[in-house]
Amino acid sequence: MVFASLEFLTLFLPTFLILYALVGKKYRNATLLFCSWVFYGWWSPLFLILFMLLAVLGWIGGLAIGRSGNGAARGWMLTLFIGINLSTLCWFKYSNIVVETLSGVLLAGGALPIQWQAVVLPIGLSFIALQSISYLIDVYRRTVPVDHSFISFGAYQSMFVHLIAGPIIRYDWVKKELIERPFDWIHFSLGARRFMIGMSMKVLIADTLAPVVDIAFSLQNPSFSDAWIGCLAYTLQLFFDFAGYSVMAIGLGLMLGFRFPENFNNPYLSISIQDFWRRWHISLSTWIRDYLYIPLGGNRVSPVRTYINLLLTMALAGLWHGGDSWNFLIWGLAHGFALCCGRLWGSYNLPKIPVLASRILTLLFVCLAWTIFRSHTFAGALNMYAGQFGMNQFGLSETMIVFIRPVQWMAGALGLFCTIAPLFQSFISRHLNSTVIYIADLWPLAGFLLSFALIASRGAVPFLYFQF
């Protein structure tokens, strides 16, 4: 079940909201936990058992660390329960690619490949693991209290509003709201509006551009136009798909009384790669900073160590995104290298690049990096790069001419407008009268109704970050 589906919109969400309103404050965490398990079990009852087990282990881990005093036992407890989460994640996420790589080496050496039944990755496992690890570390650091209620902790870790594809919610952000939170018309209406905006981003833009991306990345010898249309379409698709999910999750949380931080802040308007990672998938980038980069020494060590920390951190961030291709590792290393170059540029006090030029250069790098991120194989990425760098013809191929529809050009134009509109926000607010602004504020409802009609006609499309 996904948010942008008839099952969720017409069955699960209305039923849950009715129950949530009727049970009263005392039982809302229990209702949220139970319905979240139903939500996940709708996809896979078998993996629901795994998620329930991880919730129990996370709760027990917090209790064990909290009761272990100040000795070495405290560190061993932390290591044990982090190890459980990491080993579970690594098994489901990386066992296939490790075996595939070893089989390739064996074949190259003339031996038989390994007989292997592919392991299915449970959706949402990466987010659950990082949330549990952050809770355990925060309990160890004594920056958050131990949650002695399994119902409360389970509601935090298994909350359906962010269970599948984030944002990565830290316990510290919701600890007070797990005890007391509002459930009133003001929060509900504001949350519903955010949910409708996220739905429009996902369905009207991301899902409409998806076929263009699929056909462009499947071409044998894409032209310059084919490759760049496909790359730019994917750049918009990925943002509006993932940011749309985050907005929907934030909206659902607000409807229930939770205030989640924003997960995106106009990332395609960044003026550097460092700025990009302050704006893109903020819950992940800050998690990496606080629980990986800083503990490694961050920038408080020698310059060489700082660059190593950047590369290692971004390499692990790349690996976190996928276990079915080494392309994600290359993508992470590329971003790490770009961060090192940016830091090196600043350390030598080289001339500052004009803002417009820096925005264009940053976006160009991000788009080129998205190419290898989207490609299923390294050879596929090289194929797209050949087109992007003009090694094939320049005009649109017949396949793309036949395939692209006017609605997809419209979706691309709408996505581009929404991406650059924040640059003109102050100008728009000064020159539009209050009546026009009020009418414009009603667009989320129209967008939601159109999205609902499209879902009913063409079915639900899974979110891209489900695979991560």
Residues 6+ apart with CB under 8 A from 369: 331, 334, 335
Q: Would you say 300 and 445 are in contact if contact means Cβ atoms under 8 Å apart? A: no
- Residues 6 or more apart whose Cβ sits within 8 Å of residue 159: 32, 36, 169, 253, 258
Least reliable range by pLDDT among 178-182, 310-314, 323-327, 354-358: 323-327
* Residue 129 confidence class, pLDDT cut points 50, 70, 90: very high
* Helix axes of 224-256 and 207-218: crossing angle, nearest 10 degrees: 150
pLDDT tops 80 at residue 27: yes
The DSSP code sequence of 69-113 is TTSHHHHHHHHHHHHHHHHHHHHHHHHHHHHHHHHHHHHHTTPPP
Q: From the CB of residue 353, how many other CB atoms can be counted at a distance below 10 Å?
A: 15
321 is catalytic: yes
What distances in angstroms separate CA 427 from CA 15, 356, 423, 431, 453, one per listed residue? 43, 18, 9, 6, 34
Domain chopping of the chain, boundaries: 6-181, 188-467
Mean pLDDT of 409-433: 80
Can you tell me the distance from the alpha carbon of 125 to that of 466, in angstroms, rounded to the nearest whole number? 9
Residue 466 scores a pLDDT above 80:
no
Cα–Cα distances in angstroms (integers) from residue 19 to residues 22, 45, 174, 185, 432, in the given order? 5, 22, 21, 16, 42
**pLDDT, position 440:** 59
> What are 176-193's pLDDT values in tens digits?
999 999 999 999 999 999
- Band of residue 428 on the pLDDT scale cut at 50, 70, 90: low
**What's the pLDDT score for residue 433?**
60
**pLDDT given for residue 218 in this prediction:** 93
Query: Please, are residues 249 and 36 in contact by the beta-carbon 8 Å criterion?
Result: no
pLDDT at position 421, please? 83
Q: Report how far residue 149's alpha carbon sits from residue 353's, in angstroms, rounded to the nearest whole number.
A: 53
Measured CA to CA, the distance from residue 45 to residue 112 in angstroms comes to 36
Question: In the structure, what pLDDT confidence band is assigned to residue 44 with cuts at 50, 70 and 90?
Answer: confident
Phi, psi of 116, deg, nearest 5 = -150, 135
Whether pLDDT at 467 is above 70? no
C-alpha torsion 44→45→50→53, nearest 10: 140
Active-site position among 162, 187, 281, 321: 321
Least confident of 241-250, 413-422, 437-446: 437-446
Q: Counting Cβ atoms within 10 Å, is residue 457 exposed (0-12), middle (13-18) or buried (19+)?
A: exposed
DSSP symbol at 385: H
Taking the C-alpha atoms of residue 30 and residue 211, their distance in angstroms, rounded to an integer, is 41
**Diameter of the chain by CA atoms?**
74
| pLDDT tens column, 361-395 | 999 999 999 999 999 899 999 999 999 998 988 88
Q: How confident is the model at residue 351 (pLDDT cuts 50, 70, 90)?
A: confident
Spatial contact of 346 and 358, defined as CB atoms under 8 Å apart: no
d(CA 141, CA 234): 40
Share the mean pLDDT of the chain. 90
Using the predicted structure, report yes or no on whether residue 429 has a pLDDT greater than 80.
no
Does residue 189 contact residue 257 with C-beta atoms inside 8 Å? Answer: no
Asked if the bond preceding 444 is cis, omega within 30° of 0, the reply is no
The Cα–Cα gap between 374 and 99 comes to 22
**pLDDT-wise least confident of 158-167, 326-335, 367-376:** 158-167
Q: Write down the pLDDT at residue 2.
A: 84
d(CA 128, CA 86): 11
